[in-house]
Structure 1
């Protein structure tokens, strides 16, 4: 995905959110900008299972905000902003849709 941005000459900032955690306001901004359901911002991977979490419990903004505030490693990534719009760019080709 970074290669796509570079090839298109797009300037971008990388936010290392595990080193510098996102605030609740940052997470709210992401949820507001991504057109997908809030649950799509949550990674349902091995760590999700290790925590014994139930995907059905994380479908609302509040539940997702609370979860990602406590477990930022569960945020689906990368999230790419263009102005006020954002997309979860997984697969990375989704960034092309955002740029077009």
Structure 2
């Protein structure tokens, strides 16, 4: 089992940066392409529990979010965030790095190297 897991979106340059940082650090992470294999509600709740960032930060408030006419204030609790991301996995912020009982959102990019060190 890998020491680090990266929840990865191949289309995202920031997510690809996290993979590059892992390689430079000599780490072979487990790569989870969460759009191909979305996380279950329980997996999302476990991830949120480990997350050093607020649960609300796990949700991308991008054009898709706005197009769904969602209100950011409705997605601040772990339960609400998990329910939303089960329904719309593409709204998950990326990359997310997990190591043991800790997880971070890899934005801004400079957070990644510090987390992997």
TM-score band w.r.t. shorter chain: over 0.9
CA root-mean-square deviation: 1.0
- Asked which structure has the greater RCO (Cα within 8 Å, sep 6+), the reply is 2
Q: How many residue pairs align between the two structures?
A: 100
Deviation beyond 2 Å, 4+ runs, structure 1: none
Structure 2 length-normalised TM: 0.81
Instruction: Give the unaligned 5+ runs of structure 1.
Output: none
Instruction: Give the unaligned 5+ runs of structure 2.
Output: 1-17
* C-alpha contact (below 8 Å) 2:51/2:102 kept by paired residues: yes
**Aligned equivalents of 1:62, 1:87: Cα separation in 2:** 18
Structure 1 length-normalised TM: 0.94
Per-residue CA deviation, residues 46-89 of structure 1 (Å, 9 max, x unaligned), is: 00000000001111111111101111110001000111111100
